[in-house]
Structure 1
Amino acid sequence: MSSAHVRPISVDQHPVTRHQYIVPTPSIDALMQKVKRLVRMHTPGAVIFAYPRFGKTYGIRYVKNALQGEYPGVVCLSCGTEAKKKPSEDGFFTTLLEATGHLGALTGSITRKRRRLIERISELVDASGYNWFVIFADEAQRLEVMEYEWLRDVHDCLERKGIRMITLLVGQPQLLNQKTAFRQSNHTQIILRFMIAEMRFDGLADPDSLATCLQGYDDAIHPPSTPWTYTRFFYPQAYDNGFRLVDEALALWDAFLRAHNSARINVQMEIPMQYFAHAVEIALETNMQLDRAGFKFTPEMWDEAVAESLFVEALRELHLGMPSN
């Protein structure tokens, strides 16, 4: 191997190997545009929903970074939502304070925590140069009515201070059922503040979608400010001979389609981002020792990567909740 093909870092330090990277997808791009529009319109809240492992959390990280790129200094908070036996006001405000980075999140009474939260958000927003901020609540289908009421109090208090709070509820399709239940029980104050818009986060539904994602591996660079794209890092000799992952889109789609058909489940194929990314990672790492000028992935290599991603097993678990043809 020539010196031009010697990797600048070890394989175990690469973001793909560490699973610490984001590549754009059509769904992420569409979500990003919708969220930006919500921000421009100052829409107070929206529901972002998808089936498990479709890449919601992954997509939100990308959107959050994009927002901070377009609005330098803007406040974007994110917090998880834990399963619990019953709502805890103390736990609720602790979680929100932790999301703001407040050092006193674990101490004090509920009243003090509530006051600290308002003060902390006000400080962050004032320093940002904007009069609004965004908060992402992950796994939001776990939130209960009382927690929405506490969140509404925060929303209203900040609004009186001239601060617009844009809440994006990220979760599974049960969120839509909750919205319907709130409508039927006359909790319109919750819907109007937090659920007025709806956005579905889709999986990858055609070869073009895969091509967009694979192009991300061809374009992304690590280490920064070097010529080492992700694809080149794993296959430097093939890359110098013109090999690009984007050209593998149809072959990878066909591998997922073969796996989908083998499962004998009557649902339209839609590949969750989790399993797409895992299949690509497996293919890159498993076959990298075969790198040479004329390297190409074979159908068998893609079949093995898709199988090891556990796509079929996940499909069988998910199909009851997915739309039929």
Structure 2
Amino acid sequence: MERPQIQIGTHPIETGDYIIPTKEVLRLMGSMTRIVNNRLPGMIVYGRPRIGKTWALRFAIDHLPTNFDAPLPILYANCNSYRVPSEEKFYSDLLSDFKFPFISKRNSSELRRQVVNFMLEKAEKSKLRRLVLIIDEAHRLTEAHYNWLMDIYNALVQKKISMTVISVGQEELLSRRTFFLEQKRSQIIGRFMTHEHDFHGIRTWEDMQLILSGYDSPEISCYPEASGCSFSQYFFPEGYKKKERLESEAKMLFELFADLRKEHGVSAALEIPMEYFSFTIENALKKYGIHGDQHYWINKAQWREAIEMSGYVESEIYMALV
């Protein structure tokens, strides 16, 4: 197959606009599917920073509806940080994240009505009479936020609409749930925090191999669309033609990550954030591939440099100090 000709700088590896499924992403998808299928009201998803939770949510939003027999509305919102949270700010932020065109500036009751009506319209159009609300950075949610969410939830229940809230954030979410338990806030726990999902980074070389195979496979990473050219094939056409594959580098690459941690005195359990791993792959493909130094393939020293360029080592040192 002839390598497609595209403008330099526009490939997804160069723009960062792509998603490769991982074992952890697929595990999260399974948890979310079970929660929605059973019409359960909520689940918390937690993990350390930069580990790939937001990236996984993008994949879930695109693919979760395919697990159902009818369109499933999925709304995404980001919990913003304010010194003093308020109903008006909370509802306005929801409407803004929903791309609602006519946000009322009058009062919290009117804003809540707009949120509920918007959700009601989405759920009724789907014919499933249910919807999913994903809240990112959910460790910022206070008791007041959950009470406002409860008002929305109850308003939808009155209209016979099931809403599932997926709260995604850092490990502080567990502390927040413990606090609510101590304060006997059973109404919050029961609706939004009964179920949990611990989101992990890359822990084994097999995890890494699965991800790398996605960069090799035209069924998963193909650009331009329908060209049949995978990401690794595009950047290393000669190596790919001679059966070189990124997934074959998994063991060596995993050992390089482990060695760099040891060299810098990082002793915590090895868990590689997806963000830094994807930066590593992108660095290697861009710097040593057809748009860079035009090497036949990537050697061990170049992989090491690609890891160092990703900022992974500095991040692990900082996390160890924290």
Check the 8 A contact 2:23/2:207 in 1, yes or no: yes
Q: Residue 258 of structure 2 corresponds to which residue in structure 1?
A: 257
- TM-score when normalising by structure 2: 0.94
SS of residue matched to 1:4: coil
- The question of whether the paired residues in 2 share the 8 Å contact of 1:251 and 1:302 is answered with no
Unpaired runs of at least 5, structure 2: none
1:1-325 pair list within 5 angstroms: 4-5=2-3, 7-71=4-68, 72-105=70-103, 107-219=105-217, 220-289=221-290, 290-291=293-294, 295-320=296-321
Amino acid at match of 1:193: R
Gaps (5+ residues) in structure 1? none
How does the TM-score come out when normalised to structure 1? Answer: 0.94
Distance 2:321 2:196 in 1: 22
Q: Is the 2:289–2:297 Cα contact (8 Å) retained in structure 1?
A: no
Deviations 1:28-57 (A, max 9, x none): 111111111111111110110010100110
**What letter matches 1:65 in structure 2?**
D
* Secondary structure in structure 1 of the residue aligned to 2:259: helix
Would you say the 8 A contact 1:79–1:136 is kept in 2? yes
Question: Partners of 1:304 and 1:278 in 2: how far apart?
Answer: 12
* 1:68 CA displacement: 2.3
- Give the letter aligned to residue 284 of structure 2: A
Partner SS state of residue 134, structure 2: strand
Per-residue CA distance 1:155-214 (angstroms, 9 max, x = gap): 111011111110010000000000000000111111111111110110101110000100
Q: CA deviation at 1:69?
A: 2.6
Separation in structure 1 between the aligned mates of residue 13 and residue 103 of structure 2, nearest angstrom:
34
Q: Map Cα deviations across residues 206-260 of structure 1 (whole Å, 9 max, x no partner).
A: 1100001001111210111111111111111211121211111112112111111
Distance in 2 (alpha carbons) for counterparts of 1:172 and 1:106: 32
Q: 1:270 to 1:111 in 2, by over 3 A?
A: same
The answer (yes or no) to whether the contact 1:140–1:171 under 8 Å persists in 2 is yes
1:291: Cα distance to partner?
4.4
Secondary structure of 1:167's counterpart equals: strand
Over residues 88-124 of structure 1, what are the superposed CA-to-partner deviations in whole Å (9 max), with x where a residue is unaligned? 1111111122233321125332221111111111111
8 A contact 1:100–1:121 mirrored in 2: no
> Deviations for 1:51-71, whole angstroms, at most 9, x for unmatched residues?
010011001111111112333
C-alpha distance in structure 2 between counterparts of 1:105 and 1:241, whole Å: 57
